[in-house]
Each structure stands twice: as structure tokens, then as C-alpha cells.
């Protein structure tokens, strides 16, 4: 069963008194374990689509199903809970909590979830920090890290709850291309290791190249779904 | 449950880290909260201490815990006088019954009868005093005492009176030059002037010894009355069961003289009243200057009022000069010359006195001592002294003036509030004299009137029968009127035979006589003052059951305006606190809204990665509440420190009568109340949470979409 099913979804925003359609009748299915890229110019609706999938926004019309649940039928609390337990987020500008250390940032979703002992939490967090290669900076504050390091922390935070789906909105946009590529490699590695579904938006062709599939979007409509080189590489393997 | 705890921990962690991260904002909010808590603690502590001081002053001087008076009274009872003079109270006709009924209420310890009123008291004048002395000398000389000492004294008094007549003539001469001599009283004025001219004439004094008594009478009857000074002054008194009064009011004490013997008539004059109204003006002004310099740190050099007092003292020598007869004047001159040093060696008394009073800051203390050590023993400092019998006059209820003679047993003051005119103006008089003055029928007066009626054959007439009874049944003329000499002597002799005239001042009244009769109000002293409200209800109920028509009020209400002063202070403090916290609310609210707006992205992120709305709400409230609590505690601590500092500095000095009374002492020593600390903490935390509530709601409404915003 697919992890995400989007059917006939439109999303309108009000800009003053004019209605601005951000998405028009979008239908999309994302399978488990995919490493999917949503590509398109700015203002094309990439972020809106990600928001809908990420349960931080609800569609004007149509149905968004995440992990088999119709998001428009869930309460605010249930949506929050769904985000906490099923989805991990990676943001363009990293969005780490400035006042918490690297370790505490990554630990945060676990604390919200509760249920794990301190030792289990520590093992999980340190394991991930090692996996993203930032364990030595566990006690640092985000402001003491470089952009790439911060995004590594963000990746670890997104993965710490072992979500089924990780959404990344332009994860490399604030990084230089080499670092960006490292992050994509890291995400891909995680995708390969745990089979976590990754959906990320980008307009960088080099990044797209790593995806197993690319959804092209323009003017709120999906214009193409093409298999990426990453997919080809995978298929070849 | 561990989930909850983990979430709470991380919530606290973020809250505190946020506070630590934005130090400027935290310290601004903290300073406001700290200031607020400080204000509340210090303000409430001071206010509570004033409240306590006022309670001590009122309850210990006149108020007791409760007061009762007739519910049908026109005015409300005001123990310390109101703006419109004394309150008009319906008299309690039979105090004994009130005492009996109210004493039966379990928590009531003592019931003290009272009648507060104002009266006029004749103070006499220096002229009378001088003539009295002269009369004593005349009596000695006429009695055959020809010793040199007696003759010297007699001549000195004569010279004194002669000088006074001269001064009086000068004074009235000035008045004469501006008076209208053509008016209705012109004839009187002319006769007075002729008398005065005669008395000032050398011939009068040369021939004085030919008819000593006759000339003395001329002076007493025709001249003394022309002297305008002295006369009378007003006195405020409480007529009471003096024994019970002293037992009930712990602050009352006899400052000078002795207690009125049990059951006797007499008066204890208010010490502060005596200072202000009965004391020699020059001495009073010296006291005031000393007080201002010693207690209030004022200096003659830069204080307009003190300079005026010095000037008035220098110019106003008449009172002193008139008091001193030539022998005393000589003695005073010698003493002042010695005390004031070589510069004064050749000066006459007026110049010496002017020199004595012309003090500056450097010389004042020495001059003050010279006045009291050297000059005062020669002077009559107060117009009323312990041991005098004074005449008190007051308009009675019946409309005409009643007067009583009472002996001054001493001066009364109230401990700790000696300097306050609020209680210190009050003199304490026996209840019988009060009843006579007040014009209400005492039993003995009723009996006396009865006896007079019987002896002159008066009968009561009903109005409707009056005509028939007085003018007969309409028959022929019943008798002829005839003029007859009224033999006063025989009438009075009869009266004396009926009932020997009694010297009221030596009569001792029994408790029963004191209780039976009129009082205007009564103070109740409670065994357990903390049960005031409850006892107030019990007293009211007991009074109503007995049909006494009493109104029961508490001490604060009974004190009238004075008691409301603390209420006024309270209103001012509370208003200040409310205004302060209203402003604080706006400032804190603004600061927190700004903080929320700055953190929209972070909050959005928290929401996106799974934090519930209530997590965000709680986080914001914890943040502001912990600032409130921490700085509130610090502020309260600072307030406590402030209270301590005020105490260490000797308290807040009572710089006026009212403050002396409210502080119940010369300075207010505030005590830190646990209540005020608790109140301040609660207030600041509540205000913080209230002011943080709107920004917290804003934060709660931040959607996770905000996390995705990419404006940076």
C-alpha cells in the first residue's frame, strides 16, 4: 500500500480578495521506500504540495491520505500526533531550536513521544548522530555549526522517531552544491538503510538526479512523473 | 506518564533557555515585576503598620473596640470631632441600664460612659492676677503687718498695677483714636476713658493708701474689665467615669499633677491642649522652634516660619513684662544680665528679653535653656495650673448657659501620641460635671428644683387649665397687689436651713450615682478584640432585645475622619498598585508579543515536528510565570530589605500631629507582614500570567506552515 495518496486535490489561497490557486486537481501516489523529488520553479506549488502531504495544511478540495488516514477527517490534535509519529521534517533553513544543543534538538521528538527510557533515547540519538557524522558535536549549539552540519542535525532529528515518511522542503537550497550533495547522499543512504520514504522538493537538477522518481510541477499542476537517474541506478543494481 | 514528564521537562528546558537567551527582555520584564513586588510589599507593610498604629491610638485613647450611641441621633458619632464641630447625639438617658445590658454580652469587658462636648473656660487675665496679689498685700497691711518685707512687697505690687494701668491706657488710647465716639456706646466709652485717666493719674496713686479697699475695688470693678486679654478659651472634653476611663484606655496617663480621686468632681486638662492654648506664647514658640530644629532638622537660617516665630518672640514681650512685678522684674534683669554676657550688662529688661529671644541657629539651644532655667521660674507659664479651680461654661440643652467649677487635678496625655493634637486636645472631666454642663437633669438637681418648687408653692399646670388656675374662676377681684420688699436674706436663710449648702468639689459620688444618668455614648472594651464583628452583632442584638435604641459602630467608624485617613491611604496605595500593574501588563504584554513574533518560525517548527498546541501555550505561560515568580520573590525580598532599612534608619518620623497619631508614636516602625509578601507574590504572578496570556494564545495559534516559510 502506498504511504501517500493524493486525489483530485486543489488548494486555494486568499491573497487579499483574490483567490490564488496553488494546486489544481492534483493526483499523486507515493509508494513506500521511494526517494521522490518534486521539482518545479518557485511558485509552482511544490511547497504547498509538501505541506498537504506533511499534514501541516489541509486541501480546499480533494483527499490527502497519509499512512492510510484521510487528513481532512483528523482533528488538529490527531494531525499533530500523525506528524509526530509518522512523518519527519527537514527544512530549507534547518529550523533547529537555537536554545537547545545538537543532542537535545535530536532528542526533542522522542521526548514529545515519550515512552523511551533515558538510556534508550541516548542510544538512539547518538546512533543517529554517528550515522549523520556529527556525533562529536553533540554538545554544541546549532549556532556553532556550519550550514551542512546543521542540516545533518536536522536529518537526524527527522529520522529519530523512525518515521515512515520524511519530507524535505528544498533541503539543499541554503547549502553550497558540494554540501548539498553530501546531504542528498546522506538522505539516500538512510533511505537505503531503513527503507524510509523520502519526498523532497528541489529545483536543482543535480539534486533531482539522485531521485528514484521526479514529479514535475508547474502552475499547480503535475506535468510529468519521470523515473530519475537514481531510480535507474537502483534498477540497474 | 513518563511521556508527560519528558514533555514537561523539555518544555521547562526550552522556556528557561529562552529566558536566558533574551536577557534584555527578561531583565526589563523582571525589573517591572520586581518593582511591583517591592512596591506591594513595602506599601502594604507600611500601611499595615499605620493601620496597627492607628488602631492602637484610637482604641487606646478614646475609641475602645466598639462604641454605642443613640440610634435616633441626628449626627454620627465622631470621637475626635468632625468638620462641623461636635456631633449632635441624642442622650442615652439611663446609662446604668445600658451598662447592665451590654456588660452581659460575653465578650464585653468594660462599658465606659462618655459625653464629648466643647465648652468655654475662663482663663482670667494678668490684670486679675496682679490685682489678686495686691489685694492679698492690702489685706496684710490693713491687718497690721508693718514689717519692711510686707511693705516692700506691697509697694512693688502697687507699682506693678500702676504700670499695667499705664500700659492699658496707652493701648486703649490707640483704640480710641480709631473708634467711633458718636455712636450708641459713646457715653460708656467716655466714662471708661475718664476712669482710666483717673487710675493712671499720679494723684490716684499718691492717695491710694487713704482708702486702700475702696481704691482696690475701683480698680477691680472699673478698670480690670477693660483689659481685653485672657477672657476665655474653648476646651474640648470628655465627661466620663474617670476611673473606668483609665482602666479602659491604656494609653491614658496623668502627665502632671494627680489622678482625680475616685468619685470626685474634677478635670484633667489635655496636656497638648495646654501647650497650644494655655501656655505663654513666647514659651510655646520657643518649644515649637526647638521641636522643629531637633526633630525635623529645620534651621532658623533657612526657614521662613522659624524666622517669623523668632521675630514674634522678640516683639511680643508684653505678656512677660505685664506678669512681672517690680521685684520679679529686678530679679529677671539681674539673671538675664548674668546669663547673656557682657554685651548685655547695662541693658534694661525689655532690651534683655529682646536679646534673649533674638536667637539664631548657633545660639538657640543656649537661649532656650536660659529661658527655662532663669526666666520661667519667675513666670506663670500656663494660664491654668494644677490645683486651680476653673469655671467652665457651655450652652446647655435648655438654651441658656450652664457653668460648673471644677478643680484641675492634673494634665492628661496619651502615651506614644503625646504630641498629637488629635487625642491630646482632649481633657477628661468627671461625669457629674458633664451632666451639669450638658444641662440634663441629674437626680440631685431634680430634687433641688423640687424642693425650691415646694418652698415657693409652685404647682404644675396643664396648658388647658392654665387660664382658670392662674386667673381664677371669673369671680370678683381676689386680692390686691401690694408692693413688698423681697427679703432675700430671709429666703436664703430658709433655703440654707432646708439643706446645708454642699461643697460639690469635696463630695464623693458612688459608682451607682455615676452610672445612673445621662451619657452621650459609651466605649466598649472587649476581652478578645479579634472577635470584634461577632461581638458587634451580639451587642446590637442585646441592645435591641432590651429596647435601648442603640447604634453600634466599630472604633474605626467612631473615629470619623481620622479613621478614614487610613482607608484613604489604602485607596491611594491600591490605586497606585493597580495603575502600576495596568502599565506593567501593557509593557509585559507588548514585550511578550514581540518575543512571540520573533519566534514564529521556531514555534512553527515545534508544531510541525509534533508539539501540540497546549505544549506551546504551556511553554509560553511557564516562561512568563517563572519570570514573575523569580523576580516577584526577589522584589518581595527587596521589599523586606526596605522595611528593615526603614527600621534601621529609625523609622519614618511623624512630622505632623496626624502622623504622630496614625503612627502611634514619634516614628513609624514598619513590620514585614507575611500576608503582604504572599499577596505581592500572588499579584505579580497573576499579573505576569495575565499579561503573558494573549501572546501565549498568539503563539498557540502559530501554524506549522510557518516553519516552511522561506523568507530568509
Rg (CA), chain A: 18
Shortest Cα–Cα distance, B536 to chain A (Å) = 59
Rg (CA), chain B: 37
pTM for this entry: 0.72
Average pLDDT (B429-446) is 78
- Pick from B124, B204, B195, B226: nearest CA to B158: B204
Residue of A nearest to B6 (CA): A111
CATH classification of A4-236 is 3.40.50.1460, yes or no? no
Q: Is residue B329 part of a domain?
A: no
DSSP B428: E
Q: Is residue B162 part of a domain?
A: yes
Q: Is residue B84 part of a domain?
A: no
Residue of A nearest to B609 (CA): A84
Domain boundary, last residue among B226, B248, B271: B226
- Please give the pLDDT value at position B575: 94
CB atoms inside a 10 Å sphere around CB B296: 12
Encode burial over B340-374: b for 16+ CB neighbours within 10 A, e otherwise. Answer: beeebeebebeebbebbbebeeeebeebbebbeeb
Shortest Cα–Cα distance, A57 to chain B (Å) = 7
A158 contact residues in B (CB cutoff 8 A): 609
> Does the distance separating the beta carbons of B606 and A54 come in below 8 Å?
no
Domain identity same for B582 and B687 = yes
Grid cell 459620688 in the structure block, residue: B509
> Does the distance separating the beta carbons of B712 and A108 come in below 8 Å?
no
Rounded distance between C-alpha atoms, residue B323 and residue B230, angstroms = 13
Q: Is residue B419 part of a domain?
A: no
Domain identity same for B130 and B29 = no
> Does the distance separating the beta carbons of A83 and B609 come in below 8 Å?
yes
Rounded distance between C-alpha atoms, residue B123 and residue B128, angstroms = 10
Q: Are the C-beta atoms of residues B370 and B339 closer than 8 Å to each other?
A: yes
Among B608, B709, B712, most A C-beta atoms within 10 A, so best to mutate, is: B608
- Please give the pLDDT value at position B181: 60
Q: Are the C-beta atoms of residues A199 and A166 closer than 8 Å to each other?
A: yes
Q: Is residue B33 part of a domain?
A: yes
* Among the partner residues A77, A89, A95, nearest to B612 by beta-carbon distance: A77
Pairing of β B401-414 and β B267-270: parallel
Task: State how far the alpha carbon of B68 is from the alpha carbons of B113, B293, B394, in Å.
Answer: 10, 43, 24
* Among the partner residues A97, A158, A169, nearest to B14 by beta-carbon distance: A97
Phi, psi of A187 (to 5 degrees): -60, -40
Q: Which residues of A touch B (CB under 8 A)?
A: 47, 50-51, 54, 56-57, 76-77, 80-81, 83-85, 88-89, 91-93, 95, 97-100, 104, 107-115, 117, 157-158, 161, 169-170, 173
- Pick from B50, B52, B51, B35: nearest CA to B639: B35
Q: What cell numbers appear for A66 in the block?
A: 497519509
- Please give the pLDDT value at position B498: 47
Rounded distance between C-alpha atoms, residue B100 and residue B107, angstroms = 14
| Contacts of residue B534, Cβ cutoff 8 Å, sequence gap at least 6 | B107
> Does the distance separating the beta carbons of B13 and A104 come in below 8 Å?
yes
- Please give the pLDDT value at position B365: 92
Pairing of β A165-169 and β A87-90: parallel
B712 contact residues in A (CB cutoff 8 A): 93
> Mind listing the pLDDT tens digit for each residue in B317-365?
888 888 888 888 889 999 999 888 888 888 888 899 999 999 899 999 9
What is the Cα B664 distance to its own chain's centre?
A: 12
How many CB pairs lie under 8 A apart between chains A and B?
A: 101
Domain boundary, last residue among B206, B226, B246: B226
- CA B340, B343, B345, B351 dihedral sign is negative
> Does the distance separating the beta carbons of B605 and A114 come in below 8 Å?
no
Domains: count for chain B? 2
Average pLDDT (B238-249) is 93
Q: Examine the pLDDT at B450 and tell me if it is beyond 90.
A: no
Q: Where are the alpha helices (DSSP H) in B201-317?
A: 202-206, 212-218, 242-248, 271-273, 281-296, 304-315
> Mind listing the pLDDT tens digit for each residue in A45-95?
888 999 999 998 889 999 999 999 999 899 999 999 999 999 999 998 889
Q: What cell numbers appear for A223 in the block?
A: 506535468
Question: Is 0.90 exceeded by the ipTM?
Answer: yes
Domain boundary, last residue among B194, B226, B258: B226
Q: Is residue B24 part of a domain?
A: yes
HEC per residue, B46-59: HHHHHHHHHHHHHH
Q: Is residue B212 part of a domain?
A: yes
Among A79, A110, A114, A203, most B C-beta atoms within 10 A, so best to mutate, is: A114
> Mind listing the pLDDT tens digit for each residue in A126-164?
999 998 889 999 999 999 999 889 999 999 999 999 999
Domain identity same for B669 and B567 = yes
Average pLDDT, chain B: 85
Full domain range(s) for residue B590: 2-57+563-702
Q: Which residues of B touch A (CB under 8 A)?
A: 2-7, 9-10, 13-14, 17-18, 20-21, 601-602, 605-613, 615, 703-705, 707-708, 710, 712
- Please give the pLDDT value at position B442: 55
Helix (H/G/I), strand (E/B), else coil: A162: coil
Rounded distance between C-alpha atoms, residue B385 and residue B380, angstroms = 9
Rounded to a whole number, what is the distance in angstroms from the first to the last CA of chain B?
39
Rounded distance between C-alpha atoms, residue B322 and residue B357, angstroms = 17
Average pLDDT (B618-641) is 92
Grid cell 492607628 in the structure block, residue: B54
* Among the partner residues A95, A108, A173, nearest to B601 by beta-carbon distance: A95
Q: Is residue B209 part of a domain?
A: yes
* Among the partner residues B2, B708, B712, nearest to A47 by beta-carbon distance: B708
| Confidence class for position B121, pLDDT limits 50, 70, 90 | confident
For chain A, the domains span 4-236
- CA B355, B357, B362, B364 dihedral sign is positive
Amino acid at each position: 500500500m502506498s504511504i501517500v495518496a493524493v486525489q483530485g486535490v486543489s488548494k486555494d489561497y486568499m491573497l487579499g480578495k483574490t483567490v490564488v490557486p496553488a494546486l489544481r486537481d492534483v493526483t499523486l501516489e507515493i509508494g513506500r521506500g521511494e526517494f521522490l523529488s518534486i521539482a518545479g520553479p518557485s511558485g509552482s506549488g511544490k511547497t504547498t504540495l509538501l505541506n498537504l502531504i506533511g499534514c501541516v495544511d489541509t486541501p480546499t478540495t480533494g483527499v490527502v491520505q497519509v499512512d492510510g488516514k484521510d487528513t481532512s477527517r483528523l482533528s488538529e490534535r490527531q494531525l499533530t500526533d500523525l506528524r509526530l509519529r509518522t512523518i519527519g521534517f527537514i527544512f530549507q533553513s534547518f529550523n533547529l531550536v537555537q536554545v537547545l544543543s545538537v543532542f537535545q534538538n535530536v532528542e526533542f521528538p522522542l521526548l514529545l513521544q515519550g515512552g523511551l527510557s533515558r538510556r534508550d533515547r541516548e542510544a538512539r540519538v547518538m546512533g543517529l548522530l554517528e550515522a549523520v557524522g556529527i556525533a562529536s558535536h553533540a554538545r554544541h549549539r546549532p549556532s556553532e555549526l556550519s550550514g551542512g552540519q546543521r542540516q545533518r542535525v536536522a536529518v537526524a532529528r527527522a529520522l529519530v522517531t523512525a518515521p515512515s515518511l520524511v519530507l524535505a522542503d528544498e533541503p539543499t537550497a541554503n547549502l553550497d552544491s558540494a554540501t548539498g550533495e553530501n546531504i542528498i547522499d546522506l538522505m539516500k543512504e538512510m533511505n537505503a538503510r531503513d527503507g524510509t520514504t523520502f519526498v523532497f522538493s528541489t529545483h536543482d537538477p543535480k539534486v533531482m538526479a539522485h531521485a528514484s522518481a521526479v514529479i514535475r510541477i508547474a502552475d499547480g499542476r503535475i506535468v510529468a512523473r519521470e523515473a530519475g537517474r537514481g531510480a535507474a541506478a537502483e534498477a540497474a543494481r | 506518564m513518563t511521556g508527560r514528564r519528558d514533555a514537561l521537562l523539555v518544555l521547562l528546558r526550552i522556556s528557561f533557555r529562552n529566558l536566558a537567551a533574551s536577557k534584555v527582555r527578561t531583565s526589563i520584564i523582571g525589573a517591572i515585576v520586581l518593582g511591583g513586588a517591592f512596591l506591594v510589599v513595602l506599601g502594604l507593610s507600611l500601611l499595615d503598620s499605620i493601620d496597627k498604629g492607628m488602631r492602637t491610638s484610637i482604641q487606646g485613647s478614646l475609641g475602645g473596640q466598639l462604641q454605642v450611641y443613640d440610634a435616633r441621633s441626628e449626627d454620627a458619632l465622631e470621637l475626635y470631632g468632625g468638620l462641623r464641630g461636635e456631633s449632635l447625639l441624642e442622650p442615652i438617658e439611663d446609662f446604668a441600664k445600658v451598662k447592665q445590658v451590654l456588660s452581659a454580652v460575653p465578650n464585653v469587658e468594660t462599658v465606659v460612659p462618655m459625653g464629648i462636648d466643647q465648652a468655654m473656660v475662663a482663663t482670667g487675665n494678668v490684670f486679675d492676677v496682679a490685682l489678686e496679689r495686691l489685694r492679698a498685700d492690702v489685706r496684710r497691711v490693713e491687718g497690721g503687718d508693718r514689717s519692711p518685707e510686707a511693705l516692700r512687697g506691697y509697694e512693688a505690687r502697687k507699682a506693678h498695677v500702676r504700670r499695667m494701668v499705664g500700659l492699658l491706657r496707652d493701648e486703649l488710647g490707640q483704640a480710641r483714636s480709631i473708634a467711633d465716639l458718636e455712636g450708641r456706646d459713646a457715653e460708656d466709652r467716655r466714662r471708661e476713658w475718664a476712669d482710666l485717666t483717673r487710675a493712671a493719674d499720679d494723684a490716684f496713686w499718691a492717695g491710694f493708701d487713704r482708702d486702700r479697699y475702696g481704691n482696690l475695688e475701683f480698680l477691680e470693678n472699673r478698670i480690670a474689665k477693660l483689659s481685653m486679654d485672657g477672657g476665655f478659651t474653648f476646651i474640648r472634653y470628655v465627661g466620663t467615669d474617670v476611673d473606668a476611663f483609665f482602666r479602659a484606655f491604656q494609653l491614658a496617663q496623668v502627665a502632671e499633677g494627680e489622678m482625680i480621686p475616685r468619685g470626685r468632681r474634677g478635670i484633667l486638662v489635655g496636656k497638648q491642649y495646654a501647650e497650644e492654648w494655655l501656655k505663654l506664647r513666647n514659651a510655646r514658640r520657643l518649644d515649637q522652634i526647638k521641636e522643629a530644629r531637633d526633630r525635623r532638622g529645620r534651621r532658623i537660617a533657612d526657614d521662613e516660619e522659624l524666622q517669623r516665630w523668632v521675630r514674634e518672640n522678640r516683639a511680643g514681650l508684653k505678656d512677660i513684662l505685664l506678669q512681672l512685678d517690680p521685684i520679679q522684674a529686678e530679679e529677671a534683669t539681674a539673671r538675664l544680665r548674668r546669663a547673656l554676657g557682657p554685651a548685655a550688662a547695662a541693658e534694661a529688661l525689655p532690651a534683655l528679653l529682646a536679646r534673649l529671644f533674638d536667637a539664631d541657629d548657633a545660639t538657640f539651644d543656649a537661649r532656650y535653656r536660659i529661658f527655662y532655667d532663669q526666666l520661667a521660674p519667675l513666670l506663670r507659664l500656663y494660664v491654668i495650673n494644677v490645683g486651680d479651680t476653673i469655671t467652665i461654661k457651655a450652652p446647655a440643652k435648655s438654651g441658656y448657659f450652664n457653668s460648673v467649677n471644677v478643680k484641675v487635678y492634673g494634665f492628661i496625655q496619651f502615651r506614644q501620641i503625646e504630641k498629637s493634637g488629635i487625642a491630646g486636645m482632649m481633657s477628661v472631666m468627671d461625669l457629674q460635671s458633664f451632666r451639669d454642663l450638658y444641662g440634663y437633669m441629674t437626680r440631685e438637681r431634680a430634687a433641688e428644683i423640687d424642693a425650691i418648687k415646694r418652698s415657693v408653692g409652685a404647682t404644675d399646670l396643664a396648658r388647658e387649665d392654665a387660664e382658670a388656675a392662674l386667673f381664677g374662676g371669673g369671680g370678683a377681684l381676689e386680692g390686691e397687689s401690694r408692693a413688698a420688699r423681697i427679703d432675700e436674706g430671709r429666703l436664703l436663710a430658709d433655703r440654707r436651713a432646708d439643706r446645708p449648702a454642699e461643697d460639690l468639689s469635696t463630695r464623693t459620688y458612688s459608682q451607682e450615682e455615676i452610672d445612673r444618668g445621662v451619657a452621650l455614648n459609651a466605649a466598649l472594651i472587649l476581652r478578645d478584640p479579634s472577635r470584634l464583628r461577632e461581638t458587634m452583632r451580639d451587642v446590637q442584638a442585646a441592645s435591641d432585645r432590651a429596647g435601648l435604641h442603640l447604634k453600634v459602630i466599630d472604633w474605626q467608624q467612631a473615629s470619623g475622619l481620622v479613621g478614614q485617613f487610613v482607608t484613604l491611604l489604602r485607596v491611594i496605595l491600591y490605586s497606585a498598585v493597580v495603575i502600576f500593574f495596568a502599565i506593567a501588563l501593557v509593557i509585559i504584554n507588548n514585550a511578550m508579543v514581540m518575543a512571540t513574533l520573533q519566534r514564529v518560525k521556531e514555534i512553527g517548527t515545534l508544531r510541525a515536528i509534533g508539539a501540540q498546541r497546549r505544549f506551546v501555550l504551556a511553554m509560553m505561560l511557564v516562561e512568563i510565570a517563572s519570570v514573575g515568580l523569580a523576580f516577584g520573590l526577589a522584589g518581595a525580598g527587596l521589599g523586606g530589605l526596605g522595611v528593615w532599612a526603614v527600621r534601621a534608619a529609625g523609622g519614618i518620623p511623624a512630622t505632623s500631629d496626624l502622623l504622630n497619631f496614625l503612627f502611634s508614636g514619634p516614628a513609624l516602625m514598619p513590620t514585614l507582614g507575611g500576608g503582604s509578601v504572599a499577596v505581592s507574590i500572588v499579584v505579580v504572578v497573576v499579573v505576569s500570567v495575565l499579561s503573558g496570556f494573549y501572546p501565549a494564545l498568539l503563539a498557540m495559534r502559530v501554524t506549522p506552515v510557518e516553519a516552511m516559510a522561506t523568507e530568509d
